Amino acid sequence: MIKSLIYSTLACLLLYNSGCCNKKSISRRYYTIDISDRLSNLVLSNNNLIDRRCEIAKVDIEEAFASQKIANRAQSHEITYYRYNEWAHNPTDIITRILKQFVESQGIFSETSTRFTAHAPEYRIETNIEHLEAVETKERLQAHIAVEFRLVELTNGLALVIHHNDVKRDLADKDLNLFAATISDILFEEMQHFSGKIKEIYQNKPSIFD
């Protein structure tokens, strides 16, 4: 009886320790949205194209994609979230910060900030992200982001420049690091398109910025 009890206790302890080891072996992985490498390769402009201040509004992301959970879409109306894989930062915060860094690097405005205190800005860049997700098919994984940028004149609320694009890009492997890198690349490219439109409109019709 005593031996049986000892064996049962040892078996329970072994099972408990095995469970603990399995739990310890599972670790969360965090992925970054980062364009620092792309920014470092840009030729930075020290000239202010438009002698006005521009506020970078907090990026608005659809609620289903706004948390640190990475969304995965396998069906047209169904998304799930990766259990042990997350964004390293809240997407709203990091994309707002990235956008500010990018606009500053372009030398478009005399001053760019997410918050003005001493002087009111003349313009605001508003951003909406409708999709930020990994789309999974039988064959491949895709990076999907739908983004819209608007340059708004604050005196009258008119959007002077609008850029919208909905991009799905196939990944070579079903790899979330590659997914995060591709999302970063797409964001950078769309920011370039947006800033290019601002510069083009200013060069062709500078009076609308007076």
The residue ranking higher by pLDDT, 44 or 15, is: 44
Report the alpha-carbon distance of residue 195 to residue 49 in Å, rounded: 11
What contacts 156, CB < 8 A, 6 or more positions away?
A: none
How do beta strands 123-136 and 69-75 pair? parallel
Of 3.40.50.10610, 3.40.50.300, 1.20.1060.10, 3.10.580.10, the CATH number of 28-209 is 3.40.50.10610
pLDDT band at 21 (very low <50, low <70, confident <90, very high): very low
Report the alpha-carbon distance of residue 79 to residue 73 in Å, rounded: 4
Is residue 15's pLDDT more than 90?
Answer: no
Using the Cα atoms of residue 113, residue 115, residue 120 and residue 125 in order, give the sign of their dihedral: positive
The residue type of 108 is I
Mean pLDDT, all residues of the chain: 89
Instruction: Give the model's pLDDT for residue 97.
Output: 97
The residue ranking higher by pLDDT, 1 or 164, is: 164
Q: What is the pTM of this model?
A: 0.86
Is residue 10's pLDDT more than 90?
Answer: no
Residue position matching structure tokens 């340059």: 151
The residue ranking higher by pLDDT, 9 or 151, is: 151
Instruction: Give the model's pLDDT for residue 84.
Output: 96
Instruction: Give the model's pLDDT for residue 210.
Output: 76
Instruction: Give the model's pLDDT for residue 45.
Output: 64
Mean pLDDT value of segment 16-28:
61
Instruction: Give the model's pLDDT for residue 34.
Output: 97
pLDDT (tens digit per residue) in 37-92: 998 887 666 678 899 999 999 999 999 999 999 999 999 999 999 999 999 999 99
